[in-house]
Structure 1
């Protein structure tokens, strides 16, 4: 059913499928690499005496002949007993390195390709992003934070949401709209449990204030958009940020309207327990149907945790509305 291969990088590739248990594959849409955790049973009667595992080894995981995870051993936790815990990360782990970059007139896709080239990372499909970022100066920041910032700029200025992930050994950038799966999770379809949450506590703003320093007048120009009804209901939740000097009034107002549209709403999240399907990962767009809450729409997967235990395969999804 599943296949786990370990490549020692010395010409030996071991099929360890029969000596691993408790496989967990986890992906997050923002801020961290994909991971694969499993327990290795050492000293099994069918284990070759020359078998070894060390940090940096390549691990490939497939399920029902589908490519799932390609990554590298980053920690080995063993003792006197026969169980050894192995943690692997995909290529995005190397984007946690820090560096300094100065970008001018580039797209988010350009930034990803530049960083991948600089750090010898393999890329796959990098979907073009149309928004040209005027400048980005990043001093001693993680590469992943730099990329996330570029993708946020792209979302704010175009309304298009992109996700970066490792697709079996290659960095991939896709529009989330293109990652809509062709099946439903919900009542009478895969789902076994769910928890619904709505919040205005983290990323909700009903007043947006943009400003830039005007060198000609010596004053600060301020632009405001707000929703008075939501301000009355929730209180004032204000987002304030600067804009580039070279943006004209029309561009600033367009950004203002985009931000108030994106931010002026409750954040709705949903946790779903379901029968596993490896086609669902962080960044996927999944149709959800829950009659109790009159839900029948796609949700974006913020994180996905897949657990393989013998013949049992379940997944936990953290979802959000976009």
Structure 2
């Protein structure tokens, strides 16, 4: 029978480890996300007169059915008249929100991840190594998440491989999706208790304009001949001295969905070829409709972001979504009594 087999809280620098299983007041919720977010654990504890009070910074460890699930620190707790603590803890990916300024030399994401993890001060491991060399880059006043996000995107564009971060019971790991490809399907008669599916073009762009603004340098005038211009004259002069160079890329969905246009600024010295490449890249990323599939399941601990499962649901097949392997991008597990139920967000590929 599955149940909570370990749930402890310990204040760093002290010898006492508190087993709090008997004062868990409600369900335990564990949320993990492939998209650069820390794993989160939320739970409630009943206040007891035994000298125990949770504190920010306390370490939390949680095992389900003797399997390691979560290890992290308390970042927030609330307490009210019901004498119950509502607690939020995060795993070590939380420290990748730290900001820094770095210059990346020509290097791989494996090397950049290792450096960021060391600077963040967390245990780390490269599970899946990348050999693709990225160009040198200046990252000024950015979080480690944002620094790595740009590098991950560049690697994916060049190699087709999707890398992501996962905190494995305290150790932050660099993984490549799919981390595991499971044999057992999710769907009718297997794990599934419900689902929701949607398609949206609300954030689509099928026309992309990349614009470079060029301004002529103002001619210098002597102090004796300088005349103060009115506001209208200054604006007129600015318009006269400004030239816009525009590159436009159109997708093949304009007739079907209508014109959905975005404008992006080009760098000051970008040439036409670079502007065309930028427009094509934006159109590729924003030109497709979004598919959202959420599954409610009776879960196992393998149902985490980065793993793939075959999904087989007759109702989806009826609207054109056939059986295929889908990647889990976000998982919210709810542990209650002897059950682990989860809401899974899946990446629908087209």
Q: What is the TM-score when the length of structure 1 is the normalising length?
A: 0.83
Q: Which residue of the partner structure matches residue 314 of structure 1?
A: 341
Q: Which residue of the partner structure matches residue 11 of structure 2?
A: 8
Deviation per CA, 1:27-67: give whole Å up to 9, x if none. Answer: 122142111011111217xxxx2434211111111111211
Q: Is the 8 A contact 2:36 2:165 kept in 1?
A: no
Q: Which residue of the partner structure matches residue 220 of structure 2?
A: none
Gaps of 5+ in 1: 213-219
Q: Which residue of the partner structure matches residue 216 of structure 1?
A: none
Aligned mates of 1:183, 1:56 — CA distance in 2: 39
* DSSP-derived class of the 2:135 partner: strand
The structure where strand makes up a greater share of residues is: 1
* DSSP-derived class of the 2:27 partner: strand
Per-residue deviation, 1:8 = 2.1
Per-residue deviation, 1:234 = 2.5
Deviation per CA, 1:183-223: give whole Å up to 9, x if none. Answer: 22111111111110112233x454667899xxxxxxx9998
Aligned mates of 2:157, 2:261 — CA distance in 1: 16
Gaps of 5+ in 2: 213-243
Aligned mates of 2:180, 2:266 — CA distance in 1: 33
Residues 320 and 90 of structure 1, relative CA distance in 2, 3 Å threshold: same
Q: Is the 8 A contact 1:302 1:319 kept in 2?
A: yes
> What root-mean-square deviation, in Å, do the aligned CA atoms of Structure 1 and Structure 2 show?
3.2
* 1:124-203 equivalent positions in 2, closer than 5 A: 124-202=125-203
Aligned mates of 2:135, 2:297 — CA distance in 1: 43
* DSSP-derived class of the 2:122 partner: coil
**1:305 equivalent among 317, 326, 332:** 332
Residues 126 and 102 of structure 1, relative CA distance in 2, 3 Å threshold: farther
Larger Rg, first or second structure (1 or 2): 2
Residues 86 and 222 of structure 1, relative CA distance in 2, 3 Å threshold: same
Per-residue deviation, 1:246 = 12
Aligned length: 310
Higher deviation after alignment, 170-179 or 124-133:
124-133
